[in-house]
Structure 1
Amino acid sequence: MSSPLKILVFSHRPEVRETIITAIGRRPAADIGRVEYEEAGTIAEVLMEMDNRTNAGAVDLAILDGESQPTGGIGLCRQLKHEITACPPIVVAIRRKDDRWLATWSQADAVIVHPLDPLTAAETVADVLRNEQLPVHHS
């Protein structure tokens, strides 16, 4: 049996992290299997977890709160996509549907909108995990 996929959830507000985790659940889709969550309340925690890509227990997907303070998940997503080689997929949680263009600018792999619909949020995360492009190794 394979180990569960690891999802990093970032927000400076614990209640937002809890809302995201509750909406997606421990098993976003039957074919994905169980997931485990790592919570981050600061940018430093996110950077440490995301930079840990090559080690066991690496993040398979990150969900960043676009409204987080002082640095929001949208800007952080763009930074991570530019600075981390083989950056794991990132989903940005936003409050306004009109902010989707910002999430596109940030190079987010997907967007979820508060208030989170559990079916849509779980389906979005499952789709991103299914579509993650694995590196091709040439011999």
Structure 2
Amino acid sequence: MQPIATVLIYSDNAETRTQVRLATGRRPAPDAPEVQFVECATLPAVLKELERGGIDVCVLDGETAPAGGMGVCRQIKDEIFRCPPVLLLMGRPQDAWLATWSRAEAAVTLPVDPVEFAGALAGLLGKSSLSGV
């Protein structure tokens, strides 16, 4: 039986969380594991889920307020032991330097493009703890 990956989605926008779920489907690529989601709309909820463990990849919305995904990414990279890989959702391509600053492993722009997003997520799932790294 293939493992199931747990993906945390952080966004204060329910439509953005829906776009992520729809772009992923049951699995983001044929060779990727099936995915289950944990949705968070606030930073305290994100921190609680990460401390609980079992998250394979985080998808963080850089447009979330008041704690944007880029700042949250940098914070969890500093504070969470063995922090899972992070896929950032950016409002504009010009924000790619901020994604680098935040130490995210990957970034895509909003609105979510299903092909681009699924490819980026599948790549991160291949690097997550599911692969034994």
Unaligned runs of 5+ in 2: none
Q: Secondary structure at the match of 2:52?
A: coil
Q: 1:89 aligns with which of 43, 63, 85?
A: 85
Task: Tell me the equivalent position of 1:61.
Answer: 57
Task: Tell me the equivalent position of 2:4.
Answer: 4
Shift in Å, 1:42: 0.8
Please, what is the CA RMSD of the aligned residues? 1.3
What TM-score do the two structures reach when normalised by structure 2?
A: 0.93
CA distance in 2 between counterparts of 1:71 and 1:33 reads 30
Q: Secondary structure at the match of 2:36?
A: strand
Q: How many residues align?
A: 131
Q: 2:107 aligns with which of 107, 111, 117?
A: 111
Task: Tell me the equivalent position of 1:46.
Answer: 46
After superposition, give the CA deviation of every residue in 1:71-107 in whole Å (9 maximum; x if it has no partner): 1000000000000110011111011000010010000
What TM-score do the two structures reach when normalised by structure 1?
A: 0.89
Q: Secondary structure at the match of 1:27?
A: coil
Matched, 1:79 2:57: no
Shift in Å, 1:2: 3.7
Q: Secondary structure at the match of 1:51?
A: helix
Task: Tell me the equivalent position of 2:125.
Answer: 129
Unaligned runs of 5+ in 1: none
